[in-house]
Amino acid sequence: MPEVVDTCSLASPASVCQTKHLHLRCSIDFTRRVLSGTAALTIQSQEDNLRSLVRNQEIVIEISFETSPKSSALQWLTPEQTSGKEHPYLFSQCQAIHCRAILPCQDTPSVKLTYSAEVSVPKELVALMSAIRDGEAPDPEDPNRKIYRFSQKVPIPCYLIALVVGALESRQIGPRTLVWSEKEQVEKSAYEFSETESMLKIAEDLGGPYIWGQYDLLVLPPSFPYGGMENPCLTFVTPTLLAGDKSLSNVIAHEISHSWTGNLVTNKTWDHFWLNEGHTVYLERHICGRLFGEKFRHFHALGGWGELQNSIKTFGETHPFTKLVVDLTNTDPDVAYSSVPYEKGFALLFYLEQLLGGPGNYDMTLTNACISLSQRWITAKDDDLNSFSSADLKDFSSHQVNEFLAQMLQNAPLPLGHIKRMQEVYNFNAINNSEIRFRDLAAFDKSHDQAIRTYKEHKASMHPVTAMLVGKDLKVD
């Protein structure tokens, strides 16, 4: 079989040589906004004709490096941009191809390596990585700094190397889980994610033993580009998950699922990203089905089908990015990012489940209630508006409220009088669930102009990936 070429990487192919281990020694400089140090790479030859090396021979190459202040993988926050307003903050986002913007590496998912690290930071701050914490000590070269040590003994692709430095605190929420954040969010975070151990146990029942040891959560500042990032031992999540009622905890089920599908078994190239995400969504929904019932699993499957239809409509039905397997030659994977690999991948697996004896059709019970209410609003005349009341949502979960608004967005915007009445009876402005708030705003045309103004005002201080993705959603860039 011919070798699969990763067109998103310029590194030597895995068939020629493979990095087996990385030892990282680095220092964080907030003043200059750079990360500098050495990367000691243990390289194993896969061929006999690499100069003096023979097949399977290993050599250690140590490279000194320094990042650019504009590294696409790093976000540097001033104290004013943090919740505490006292200390700076740094976090990384390496998926899909940004680890190369931090350190020299074979930045392709086809190469997996273990790693260890020593990270020097100001002594008042805490460093965390996608690895097991392995102690801390004063920096012998600077009494104002501290060195944190880490060890990741399970081989991972470079896109899962992650680093955060900030004024962080933790709370224990399970036998193998701490939740980390700035102190202003730590108690809220501990409450919001208190079901994590239950999800981990269900995932183990479905996928086998959890081999990573620790499963910690880190709640980042709002500029984090995604809902969550499955960094091993330390899942990164957005603070917009802090709804106050655990209603967005399915994101945690998704990131937990990645511990098996994505982190343990990984797509070889980004062309096959659906293998990571389609299987993860499938496992996530099984976890939620075990927790909340099979109707809930089908409800989310139907919602995902709607998200897939929206993405295909946005791209255009014949656009190459609507394919399950894409060709990313000369294309940044971030540009191709959408719900397609998630939901089209899930749809394929759910279809195979049906063929092999699963339920023949979606259970529409929970979804039909959302469709029925949305149709009442869409067809309502001005004289009908008094027929709506808060009792309409009495038996709705947060997920159903979200789906109700998603159904509304499939149609033309409501008249202003309808919008005002909806706010009067449902009081969406008092809801902290970010998905509901987003869809409530999206239902009102003028919100788009406000979003564009806000984006342009704050773009310069966003993480580079965040700026690109939000600009794409708003059709600005």
Q: Are residues 121 and 179 in the same domain?
A: no
Is residue 349 included in any domain, yes or no? yes
Q: Is 254 a known ligand-binding residue?
A: yes
Angle of helix 250-257 versus helix 196-207 axis, rounded to 10: 40
Tell me whether residue 277 is annotated as binding: yes
pLDDT value, residue 359: 74
Q: Is residue 464 part of a domain?
A: no
Q: What integer pLDDT is reported at residue 436 of this predicted model?
A: 85
> Would you say residue 462 lies in a domain?
no
pLDDT at position 434: 85
Which of 266, 286, 317 is the last residue before a domain boundary? 266
Domain count, the chain: 4
> Which of the 8 DSSP states describes residue 445?
T
* Cα dist from 323 to 273, 311, 344, whole Å: 11, 11, 9
Q: Give whole-number Cα distances, 334 to 4, 33, 214, 273, 468, in Å.
A: 21, 24, 29, 11, 8
Domain membership flag for residue 214: yes
Per-residue tokens: 101? 């913007």
| Type of residue found at 40 | A
pLDDT of residue 445: 57
Q: Residue 348 has which token pair?
A: 């394929």
Question: Which residue type, as a one-letter code, is found at position 346?
Answer: F
CATH code assigned at 77: 2.60.40.1730
> Domain with 424 in it: what CATH number?
1.25.40.320
State whether 122 and 33 are in the same domain. yes
- Establish how many alpha carbons lie within 13 A of residue 273's alpha carbon, considering only the half-sphere containing its beta carbon: 26
CA 142 to CA 163: how far, in whole Å?
21
Amino acid identity, position 314 = T
Q: Are residues 198 and 235 in the same domain?
A: yes
CB-based contacts of 288: which residues, under 8 Å, 6+ apart?
250, 253, 296, 297, 300
Bridge partners of residue 22, in order along the sequence: 41, 115
Q: Does residue 163 sit in the same domain as residue 173? A: no
How does pLDDT run across 241-276, given as a tens digit for each residue?
999 999 998 999 999 999 999 999 999 999 999 999
342 and 440 assigned to the same domain: no
Which residue(s) pair with 21 in the sheet? Answer: 42, 114
Same domain, 139 and 275: no
> Rounded distance, CA 92 to CA 196, Å?
23
Asked whether the beta carbons of 96 and 69 are under 8 A apart, the reply is no
Q: What residues have CB less than 8 Å from 269, skipping those under 6 apart?
A: 4, 5, 6, 7, 8, 108, 109, 110, 328
Q: Is residue 402 part of a domain?
A: yes
Out of 89, 159, 226, 342, which one is annotated catalytic? 342
342 part of the active site? yes
Q: Which residue has the tokens 């699963």?
A: 358
- What is the structure's pLDDT at 477? 66
182, 255, 284, 403: the catalytic one is: 255
CA 467/CA 474 separation, integer angstroms:
11
From 197, 231, 266, give the residue that closes a domain: 266
Tell how strand 34-45 and strand 17-29 pair up: antiparallel
Is residue 249 a part of any domain in this protein?
A: yes
Number of neighbouring beta carbons within 10 Å of residue 85:
12
Q: Is 89 a catalytic residue?
A: no
* Last residue in a domain, options 326, 355, 384: 355
- Same domain, residue pair 185 and 119: no
Examine the domain organization and report whether 133 and 195 are in the same domain: no
Take residue 124 and report the two structure tokens written for it. 């008042």
DSSP string, 197-223: HHHHHHHHHHH----SS--EEEE--TT
Domain range for 431: 365-444
Please state the separation of Cα 339 from the chain's center in Å.
Answer: 12
User: Based on the domain organization, do 13 and 157 belong to the same domain?
Assistant: yes
> The domain that contains 178 carries what CATH number?
3.30.2010.30
- Run of H or E residues at 254: helix 250-257
Same domain, 309 and 374: no
- Looking at the domain assignment, is residue 476 inside a domain? no
Whether residue 159 is found in the same domain as residue 31? yes
279 belongs to an annotated ligand binding site: no
CB neighbour list of residue 72: distance below 8 Å, 6 or more residues apart: 98, 101, 464, 465
Residues 150 and 184 in one domain: no
465 within some domain:
no
Prediction pTM value: 0.91
Is residue 423 within a helix (H) or strand (E), and if so which, with residue range? Answer: helix 416-426
pLDDT by residue, tens only, the chain of 477 residues:
567 889 999 998 888 999 999 999 999 999 999 999 999 999 999 988 777 788 999 999 999 999 999 999 999 999 999 999 999 999 999 999 999 999 999 999 999 999 999 999 999 999 999 999 999 999 999 999 999 999 999 999 999 999 999 999 999 999 999 999 999 999 999 999 999 999 999 999 999 999 999 999 999 998 887 899 999 999 999 999 999 999 998 999 999 999 999 999 999 999 999 999 999 999 999 999 999 999 999 999 999 999 999 999 999 999 999 999 999 999 999 999 999 999 999 999 999 999 998 777 788 999 999 999 999 999 999 999 999 999 999 999 999 999 999 999 888 888 989 999 999 999 998 888 888 887 766 655 566 788 888 888 888 777 788 888 888 878 886
